[in-house]
Amino acid sequence: MTTQLDVLLAERALATGRAQLRATVRHVHLSKRPMFLVAFQPAAEPFSALGVALGQSAKDVIKAVVIEPRNRTLLFRAMLPVAQRFNAWMRSFAGERVPIGRNDDDDRERTVDAPQLIVANSGMVNLLEHWGRRFAYLQTSGAEPADPALVEFGRHLQFLAGHASMPGQAIVVPATALLRRHFRTGQSDLEDENLAALDAWVAPPAGTTGQAASLNVEDIAVGPLLQPDDDNEAHGLIANFGKERKGSTDEALVRRLEPALHALMAPHLNRAFGLVSRAPKHVAELPEGSSVAGRWVDDCIAYTGHVDWTSSGGFRRARDSAQRAARLRLRLEKAQGRLEAEEAADDPLTMAGYELIGKAIHGRIVSVDPSHKDGPRKIRPLIVLETEHPSLIPSAKALWWSERPGQLRAEVVSTASHGKGSRVTLKVTAGMRGDLPVKSKTAWFCQLSASSGGPSLPIPKEVPWTHKAQFSSTPATIETGPSDRWEETP
């Protein structure tokens, strides 16, 4: 969410020539053993690949190139080592487990840790989804069987791409999103999707500014697409390979042709991998926000469900039903609300942005009356605080105390001018049994709630005609041939 504070930080970034921190804590969990993925695909081929780099550091990265991305055999053969490495890494977190223990009747377990995949940008997340669809439903028997490792690879990618839409998750981390959450540059949001330019603003070379440095690197491609001239060069190589291959997929011939494509793709893969792997280092020194660990536990639970389901032979649906889509939408909305409230409660700088737009107040507590009654029996403590700036929050508006977000709720009773600021009287309407603000201390109250509660969503047994599919229930095929039909999953 962009606030007046972001506008101020952008102006300061332009004046100083360097991106400005827009957070005092780190709002994203960083794994001790993440995996970095860089990939390029040819233009107009969203389900294929041209070059891939996968590794946990520059020392152990593996690279693959596909001399004809439109050829099924050559694509699958090139991607197989990448899939095997990726699958082993994904499975390595599934062993050690602990009880979830959210209540006495909860006997479920979750993994202690979960994988974290760091990619360049949101375009790479879309590529994960496309690859997942390409590989997850392949047949492993018949006339042209696919290697089971490719199918497992596709199922993992489906989970990652689906989970990436959950607000606050840290299993799939686009480097641009990570840096944009913690830094404000002098560029537009669209320009910040260029990882090379964004990195230049965050850490410009000595003696230059972020603006100048970003202009020098803005043509560096980080995936999933190359720059047009480079893509044309790759297309020319592929065309020459096709003439020399004459339809052959012989491994010896392919190994002889691959070095030319490796020479073209290696500089792009190396530069992109360096930028992606450097992104976490820019925010690693920030202290972790107090709510980050709780969201990572949710990620571990989601990962546990995925590995248990896939190991038992379960499939993911090719298309959501109307009921499931509605439930998912509600989950996403609640998660977004919880994320915004928790980040604001963790970070005074984030909360200050909400104060500027009239969604939060900050001041010194001048009195607390814990025994105040609203009627003969209802105890409703009163809290009075004085703010440095005029409060814009109207009477009867519900606010949440940042020390107990989602628990202590207070209602604005009255607001009066006090010097340059306001004297605001609040009535506690929920969370009276816990701690209350302390007199003479400062406190934040905000309209955002970290509570996961909310109205239930009635799902009709019969899908209304407005939500019924007007097309075939069978997904369109990507592959050709008798062995490449999609599997229909329950």
d(CA 307, CA 313): 10
* CB neighbourhood size of 45 (10 A): 14
CB–CB of 216/201 below 8 Å? Answer: no
* Structure-block tokens of residue 96: 């050690």
Whether residue 374 has pLDDT greater than 90 = no
**Which CATH number, 3.30.160, 2.40.30, 3.50.4, 3.40.50, labels domain 346-446?**
2.40.30
Q: Mean pLDDT across the stretch 449-466?
A: 70
CB–CB of 4/353 below 8 Å? Answer: yes
**What is the value of pTM for the model shown?**
0.89
Closest CA relative to residue 17, chosen from 189, 215, 208, 283: 208
Backbone angles phi, psi at 37, to 5 degrees: -130, 130
The model's pLDDT over 285-323, given as tens digits with 9 standing for 90+, comes to 999 999 999 999 999 999 999 999 988 887 777 777 778
The model's pLDDT over 69-98, given as tens digits with 9 standing for 90+, comes to 999 999 999 999 999 999 999 999 998 899
Q: What is the pLDDT of residue 472?
A: 55
d(CA 351, CA 309): 40
User: Which are the contacts of 422, defined by CB distance < 8 A and separation ≥ 6?
Assistant: 361, 363, 386, 387, 389, 390, 391, 415, 416
* Structure-block tokens of residue 168: 């606050």
- Least-confidence region, from 11-15, 42-46, 105-109, 142-146: 105-109
The model's pLDDT over 176-198, given as tens digits with 9 standing for 90+, comes to 999 999 999 999 999 999 999 99
User: Which are the contacts of 310, defined by CB distance < 8 A and separation ≥ 6?
Assistant: 152, 155, 156, 159
* Structure-block tokens of residue 413: 């009773």
Q: What is the pLDDT of residue 485?
A: 37
Q: What proportion of the chain, given as a percentage, has pLDDT over 90?
A: 71
Angle at 322 between CA 321 and CA 323, to 5 degrees: 90
DSSP secondary structure letters along 275-313: HHHHHHHHHTTSPBPTTHHHHHHHHHHHHHHHHHHHHTT
SS3 456: coil
Q: Mean pLDDT across the stretch 348-376?
A: 90
Closest CA relative to residue 183, chosen from 28, 360, 338, 402: 28
DSSP secondary structure letters along 400-433: EETTSTTT-EEEEEEEEEETTEEEEEEEEEE-TT
User: Which are the contacts of 460, defined by CB distance < 8 A and separation ≥ 6?
Assistant: none
Domain boundaries, the chain: 4-316, 346-446
Q: What proportion of the chain, given as a percentage, has pLDDT over 70?
A: 93
If 0-12 CB within 10 Å is exposed, 13-18 middle and 19+ buried, where does residue 408 land? buried
